[in-house]
Amino acid sequence: MTRSHRRCDRIVRAMLAAITFAATALAHPLTDGDGTPPQPAPVTDENTRRALDLNQDGLELFAKEKWVEAAVAFERALKLMPGNEALRKNLAHAQFKDGVKHLDEKDVEGARSRFRRAIATDDKIDQFHLFLGVAAYQAKDDDEAQAEFRRTLELDPKSAVAHENLGHVLYRNNRLEDAIAEWEKALEIDPKSESAKAALEKARRERDVEGKFLRDRVAHFEIAYDGDRDPLVSTQVLEMLDEAYYRVGSDLSHYPSTPTSVVIYSQQEFSSVTASHGWVGGLFDGKIRVPVKNFARQKAGLARTLMHEYTHVVVASLCSSCPTWLNEGLAQLEEGADVGEADATLRSAAKQGSVRAFSKIPASFASIPDPLEVKILYAQSLSFVRWLHDRNGSYSFHELLVTLARTKDFEKSFQSTFHETIGNLEEEWRQTIE
């Protein structure tokens, strides 16, 4: 199963603040459309009057949240008064707000380009760097994310949000102690931050459990395990992961370039670190985490679990906004789950009216404590995904995920891929199980 982290959305919503316009003087280099520096306009009363009119137009457009139009007005005004600090700041804030809009719309690359533009206009605003760091983190560009969060802290050493997000970058790069230090600093500044507190507590549990673990690394995976308890686990697990890498990669036509971290726990360690429900047999939360009671007896089951969890890795690499039912259906399909058993579960559930519309399925299965409800949801996910696979083939899922990553609109992406609405195909599928 997969556990998605949507902290960036919360940060974006929480950090939108009122813009204050200053009136100081500082020259800012601009370019004309052909890339050459513009010639400074003669300082005349007419230029000043026109620049002020354009600035007023920009402020009115800004108030109406027309960020692009506002930026155009401010830039035109700045060409008439190229040394005016207030106009430069107004332009930078309009560019920034346009970036926030794109980030809200899940257009990460569009947001990054606009934040960079705002920073080029005014490099001294900490929020610009913070939001560029958030966008870079979402794009998995950890070098830029780390640099921007550190620049934010240069400008505002008391930014708890920057420390917290820097912690997540470091954590994703397996720098556990450094991540813990950043989360501790975030809580020193903002002791009420529940997100930083949760991240820190989980990281400390992980450190306590994994501190004694051995680590091996090959091209595509890094594995952590208790070498004293399972001395042969590394070689055999890496063989299982290597098979998953090529099989899932072939089926979904994608091979992630970033190595995947995999941690093998005892059942007690797994429960301690993940705080997951008892029905969870493995999860992916940026790392693949799997409990093993007896490696020799569980080899076949472990291979299926690793295939399942690695599918989540590939899906996440293709599209960060994949619906949970599709993600879990693909993972079960790759692991070779029994579709006949799933259909039998669904026929029984259908008689009770327990089969949900896909649009009503929860965003996460991890928060559901009822094992029967979870069993039905997994069965439904597998059955429909298998039905779609038999109808259109495995490459259709690659096409769907790539289109969804670009458009952020699931229904349109689905229809574009399968040439039919999801509602119509869902109805056809239901007839096969009722």
Q: Are residues 275 and 364 in the same domain?
A: no
In a domain, 415, yes or no: yes
Taking only the tens place, the pLDDT of each residue in 6-56 is 344 443 333 332 222 322 222 233 333 444 444 445 556 888 899 999 999
pLDDT for 42 equals 58
pLDDT tens column, 337-351: 999 999 999 999 998
Mean residue pLDDT across the chain: 87
Both 95 and 145 in one domain: the answer is: yes
Give CA 337 to chain center in angstroms.
27
Domain stop point among 317, 348, 365: 317
pLDDT for position 1: 55
**CB-CB contact of 353 with 344 (8 Å):** no
* Under-70 pLDDT residues of the chain: 1-44, 231
Q: Which CATH number covers residue 97?
A: 1.25.40.10
pLDDT at 426: 96
Helix (H) or strand (E) holding 338: none
Domain contains 46: yes
For residues 234 and 329, state if they share a domain.
Answer: no
* Per-residue model confidence (pLDDT) at position 365: 84
Q: Report the amino acid identity of residue 341.
A: E
Whether residue 201 is contained in a domain is answered as no
pTM as predicted: 0.76
Report the pLDDT value the prediction gives residue 3, as an integer from 0 to 100. 47
* Within-domain flag for 13: yes
What is the number of domains present in the chain? 3
- Residue 16: what pLDDT? 31
66 lies in some domain: yes
> What is the CA 149 to chain-centroid distance, rounded?
17
Domain stop point among 128, 156, 184: 156
Domain residues for the domain of 336 are 324-430
First-residue to last-residue Cα distance in the chain: 27
Q: How many C-beta atoms lie closer than 10 Å to residue 394's C-beta? A: 15
Residue 309 and residue 330 in one domain = no
Same domain, 341 and 285: no
Give the other-Cβ count within 10 Å of 65's Cβ.
10
Q: What are phi and psi of 157, to 5 degrees?
A: -60, -15
pLDDT of residue 146: 97
Same domain, 383 and 422: yes
The separation between CA 130 and the C-alpha centre of its own chain, rounded to angstroms, equals 16
CATH number, domain at 230?
1.10.390.10
Q: Amino acid letter at 358?
A: F
